[in-house]
Chains A and B, each alone.
Chain A
Amino acid sequence: MPRPGFVLDVDKSTPPILFHHGEQFRLERLPAGRSRVIYPAEPIEALEDPEGAIRHALLNPMGDSKPLPDLLTPGMKLTIAFDDISLPLPQMRAPDIRQRIIEQVLDLAAAAGVDDVHLIAALALHRRMTETELRHALGDRIYDAFAPHGTLYNHDAEDPDNLLFVGETKHGEEVEINKRAAESDLIVYVNLNIVAMDGGWKSTATGLSSYRAIRHHHNVKTMEQSKSFMDRHSSELHHSNWRQGKVLRDAGIKIFQIETTINNNTFGTDGPLSVLQKREWEWSAKDRITFLGMQKGLDVMSAKQRRSAFHSWRAPYGLTSVQAGEVEAVHEVTLKHCFDQHLVAVEGQTDVLTMGLPFICPYNVNSVMNPILVMCLGLGYFFNLYRGKPLVREGGVLIMSHPTPWDFHPVHHPSYIDFFEQVLADTTDPAEIEQRYEKQFAEDEWYRHLYRTSYAYHGVHPFYMWYWGAHALKHLGRVIIVGGDPKSVRRLGFMPASTLQDALEMATDVVGPQPTITHLHNPPILMADVS
């Protein structure tokens, strides 16, 4: 029986705590008596028969949806959209859930005699997926059956000929999605919910959409009102997406949503990384030797070698649920499964929140974790992994651990480089950045070209990374990065510290002496339910 997550009060006997530190690790002692550590739940049991579970979900849909075979007719136009490379993290061991589901969907379509099928990677403004990545997500059979005919492709949010303006919400938010999808008789959306933010109407309304529509919720105002964006019912980001979804539904666009959740088995229960999901006092001699060996090995490797070593890790995630049918009905069940794995009850806020940032975030799969992504992962994703109240009190201090090198992937993140060199050199205030620079970047022809033809994130994407942290920036009194490159940390507007002890000292300037400290022991992922 897997154990749930829990909160550990640090005392004198508590061993040093593991901090992820990019492609490395730190072991840090937290002050006894006033520190606590939030541990994630152990991986919950995966489904015994994923293929059977998928079949069951397709045949027994939720909400007012008919079973999938009843929706498939000969001569219909079918579009299957699926989540892109940003999910799950790290990439999962083959076969990917998307492959399992889409093979079954296609098999039903084949049985129904559906000829006109398109498969679209719903990547919104993310970079395009490479052939290898598509093959990993969908399997060779699907790739070889569709890609040569041009019916498996990446969504292109800058292709004016293949976008359809659907309408506006009553709040004036424009809705525009992929034309092929919009004009299909049925969209089957295949989702992967690694955190509670994913899925629901965000799948279609954002994933298949364009800058014109996305800007209505990917902006500073919305993000500052999403408390948190991981809690769909308190998230303005999701409210906006849901409104856009309603416009889609009212326009007669039929969506059969298939959502899945996975367990916390990020690093495996055995194998070289399994020590990372064990609690420190339970590390066996073997675990400790593995950890030390790994640490020493990583020390002698170059940054590039470390990166490729970590990015080649395929997580042995287990499927914990699959549900299909009407979007909103499905998503509520998905959220429940998500929370079952992730939620940890935490009492009260803290003065100082510490976290170790790992080597990966949604936007650097097979790529470089640049400083902007460090900010987004810490102040965007990890900070927002709460329900109720933020883990850290208003005006508190966030201490994150990451090397934060001044390093960018030139192909994936060209606009990030310019954002970092030019925009952040000028100001780090999200509202000012949005007002002064966003339009220029979003409409830059060169970024548009690279997004469409190369493997670059859209020109506006670094802005969204910054907006993702807007709520945290407003809430926090100070951000300190332990072990980061001082130059890039300062460019981010944060303070560099060489050790955690220094960082804790620096924090007392803001929160006073003897502050309470909470460490978010993440990943594997946990979400704090703060009361």
Chain B
Amino acid sequence: MKALVFARKPARYVAAVLAGRVVSGAGAKVGPLKLHEDHDIPELPGPGWRYIKPRLAGICGSDLATIDGTSSRYFEPIVSFPFVPGHEIVADLVDPANPKAPADGSNRVILEPVLGCVARNVSPVCEQCAAGNLGNCMNIAFGDLSPGLQSGFCCDTGGGWSTLMVAHESQLHSVPAHWTDEMAVMVEPAACAVHAALAAGITPGTTTVVVLGAGTLGLLTLAAIRSIAPDVTILVVAKHPEQRDEARKLGADHLAEPAEIKRAVRRLTGSKALTNAGPDGPIDRLTGGAAVVFDCVGSSESLADAIAVSGPRGRIMLVGMAGHTELDLTGLWHKELQLVGTYAYGTEEPAADGTPRRTFDLAMELVENHDLGRLVTATYPLNRYTEAISHAANAGRRGAIKIAFDLRTEKERDHL
């Protein structure tokens, strides 16, 4: 089987780090990621595991960080090498009775990639898994499988950037027949966005919410917030015109460019402002500001902006993956801000009555309601992976949002 494999190769890793610093996405050419034409087919780890054949597999920001070597060492103990990346996956479920039969799209599944207690055959399950907080599972490095926080980071499961992988039955959600594959591949990132939006605790009293960044995650978060809180005023900070257009379609009330954010939030919230450079200097921070800021970038600049524009006792939702970051936390301390991380998904209680619902189910509703399949701008076959990754790494500038690998044969593609 064909697969992109990420192996532990220190020399290549160093090369990727160096290249990635210069041009984002360049780590793919020189780094440890390699296309294997004839990669070993993973074995089924145990009962309840199935073969699936990925149809589309998205390229996520965390994948890019891995390829460019900018990920934190935090991940070292919770991944296992060599692994096949790709965790935003729509796939065909392979019939064990007839594994060679060509897929007709009638049995498509979306993978919920977190490898929690159930998939790892840990019994009894940990208390987080028991509570439905799959993303917070405490056994991601233990149990029957090698360490790996999700499929796509574990050497035993394979990943989406290949033609075949294994998945536990508990990880699979079936795809409605009228859905396109593009819609289905957006469900995993949408679930992250829904989880973040719900975790922010936006109440009817919340007036202004800021979303920093209008890449895939930013736009999906915007859509999720809009569906939760139709009346809240949302300011989206978007760098590129295509992002602005899309943000407007998804319900942003106001748009600002990154350099404009402090002025924009100040005006929106009617706040006063302070400058560090004398009375005539540029605005440095706001005395008031937004109730909730979603940082969908996760850089030190975006976090500094988030702190500057958050109102007292505001909440900063860290949606984008932040690694090592240099940050002045005085504002966090002084304004009594909450800096809240959000990762993955599990079970939510979106309704007032507290009925629990799978985040993935909510995400599928979001994708359906907003027809989010359109956010997949371009797809690439596996052997053009360097181009794909370069495109994904520069998506905003090149007018793209989500880039995915297309693993379907022409026949499979046309079947739908």
Residues on the A chain within 8 Å of B263, using CB? 417-418, 421-422
B273 close to chain A: CB less than 8 A: yes
* B272 → chain A closest CB, angstroms: 5
- Interface presence of A428 (CB below 8 A): no
Neighbouring B residues of A425 by C-beta, 8 Å: 255
Q: Are B257 and A421 in contact (CB under 8 A)?
A: yes
Question: Size range of the interface on B?
Answer: 10 to 19
Interface of A is mostly: helix
Decide if B267 is an interface residue (CB 8 Å cutoff): yes
* Pair A422/B272 contact, Cβ less than 8 Å: no
Considering the complex, which residues of chain A in the window 151-166 have a beta carbon less than 8 Å from any beta carbon of chain B? none
The distance from the CB of A525 to the nearest CB of chain B, in whole angstroms, is 33
B50 at the interface (CB under 8 A from A): no
User: Is A421 within 8 A of B256, CB to CB?
Assistant: yes
Given A410, A444, A449, which contacts B282 in the complex, CB threshold below 8 Å?
A410
A411 touches B280 (CB 8 A): yes
Q: With the chains together, A440 CA to B271 CA distance in Å? A: 12
Q: B residues 40-90 with Cβ under 8 Å of A?
A: none
By beta carbon, the residue of chain A nearest B267 is A418
A283 interfacial by beta-carbon distance below 8 Å = no
B257 closest partner in A (C-beta): A421
Task: Judge whether A454 is part of the interface by a CB distance below 8 angstroms.
Answer: yes
Q: Tell me the residues in window 442-478 of chain A with beta carbons closer than 8 Å to chain B beta carbons.
A: 443-446, 449, 454
Q: How far is the CB of B274 from chain A (nearest CB, A)?
A: 11
Whether B210 sits at the interface, judged by CB under 8 Å, is no
Q: Mark B253-283, 1 if CB is under 8 A from A, else 0.
A: 0111100100110110011110000011110
CA distance A425 to B270 in the complex (A): 19
Q: Which chain B residues lie closer than 8 Å to A417 at the CB level?
A: 263
Contacts of A418 on B, CB cut-off 8 Å?
A: 263-264, 267
CA–CA, A418 and B262, complex, Å:
10
A445 to B272, CA, bound (A): 7
Asked if B273 and A446 make an inter-chain contact with CB atoms under 8 angstroms apart, the answer reads yes
B280 touching A454, Cβ below 8 Å: yes
* Minimal Cβ-Cβ distance residue in A for B248: A426
Instruction: Find chain B residues with CB under 8 A from A411 CB.
Output: 280
Q: Given A444-B267, A454-B280, are A422 and B256 also a contact pair (CB < 8 Å)?
A: yes
Given A440-B267, A449-B272: A410 touches B280 (CB 8 Å cut-off): yes
Within 8 A of A (CB), among B211-258: 254-257
Encoded as 1 (CB less than 8 Å from any B CB) or 0, chain A from 390 to 418 comes to 00000000000000000000110000011
| Residues of chain A contacted by B260 (CB below 8 angstroms) | 421-422
Say yes or no: A422-B254 contact (C-beta < 8 A), given A410-B280, A410-B282, A454-B279. yes
A477 to B267, CA, bound (A): 33
In angstroms, Cα B282 to Cα A422, docked, is: 17
Q: How far is the CA of A418 from the CA of B273 in the complex (A)?
A: 14
B250 to chain A, nearest CB (A): 16
Q: Which of B272-300 contact A (CB under 8 A)?
A: 272-273, 279-282
Please report the C-alpha to C-alpha distance between residue A254 and residue B270 in the assembled complex, in whole angstroms: 39
Report how far A418 CA is from B256 CA in the complex, Å: 10
Compute how far the CA of A444 lies from the CA of B263 in the bound complex, rounded to whole angstroms: 12
Given A410-B280, A422-B264, A454-B279, is A444 in contact with B255 using a C-beta cutoff of 8 Å? no
- Complex contact B266–A446 (CB within 8 A): yes
A contact residues around B264 at 8 Å (CB): 418, 421-422
A518 to chain B, nearest CB (A): 37
Q: With the chains together, A444 CA to B264 CA distance in Å?
A: 13
Residues of chain A within 8 A of B266, CB atoms compared: 446
Which residues on B sit within 8 Å (CB–CB) of A443?
270
Closest approach, in angstroms, between the C-beta of B315 and any C-beta of chain A? 23
A454–B275 alpha-carbon span in the complex (Å): 13
Question: In the complex, what's the smallest C-beta–C-beta distance from B210 to chain A, in angstroms?
Answer: 14
Q: How far, in angstroms, from A410 to B283 measured CA to CA in the complex?
A: 10
Q: What's the nearest-Cβ distance from chain B to residue A428, in Å?
A: 16
A422–B256 alpha-carbon span in the complex (Å):
7
User: Among the interface residues B256, B273, B280, B281, which one has the most CB atoms of the partner chain A within 10 A?
Assistant: B280
Interchain CA distance A454-B282 in the complex, whole Å = 14
C-alpha spacing A443/B263, complex, angstroms: 16
* Contact (Cβ within 8 A) A446 B254: no
Taken together as a complex, chains A and B put the C-alpha atoms of A422 and B266 apart, in Å, by 12
**Nearest chain B CB to A14's CB is how many angstroms away?**
43
What residue in chain B is nearest A419 (Cβ atoms)?
B267
Residues of A within 8 A of B271 (CB): 446
Which of B267, B270, B273, B279 is A422 in contact with, Cβ under 8 Å? B267
Of all chain A residues, the one with the shortest Cβ separation from B244 is A425
Q: How far is the CB of A367 from chain B (nearest CB, A)?
A: 12
Return the chain B residue nearest A437 by Cβ: B267
- A selection of 29 A-B contacts at a CB cut-off of 8 Å is A410-B280, A410-B281, A410-B282, A411-B280, A417-B263, A418-B263, A418-B264, A418-B267, A421-B260, A421-B263, A422-B256, A422-B260, A422-B263, A422-B264, A422-B267, A425-B255, A440-B267, A440-B270, A441-B267, A443-B270, A444-B267, A445-B270, A445-B272, A446-B267, A446-B270, A446-B271, A446-B272, A446-B273, A449-B272
Apart from A418-B267, A454-B280, 11 more pairs, CB < 8 Å = A410-B280, A410-B282, A411-B280, A418-B263, A422-B254, A422-B263, A425-B255, A440-B270, A441-B267, A444-B270, A446-B267
Q: Give me the interface of B with A, judged by CB distance under 8 Å.
A: 254-257, 260, 263-264, 266-267, 270-273, 279-282
**Which A residues form the contact surface with B (CB < 8 A)?**
410-411, 417-418, 421-422, 425, 440-441, 443-446, 449, 454
Q: Which 4 A-B pairs have the closest CB atoms?
A: A411-B280, A421-B260, A418-B267, A446-B272
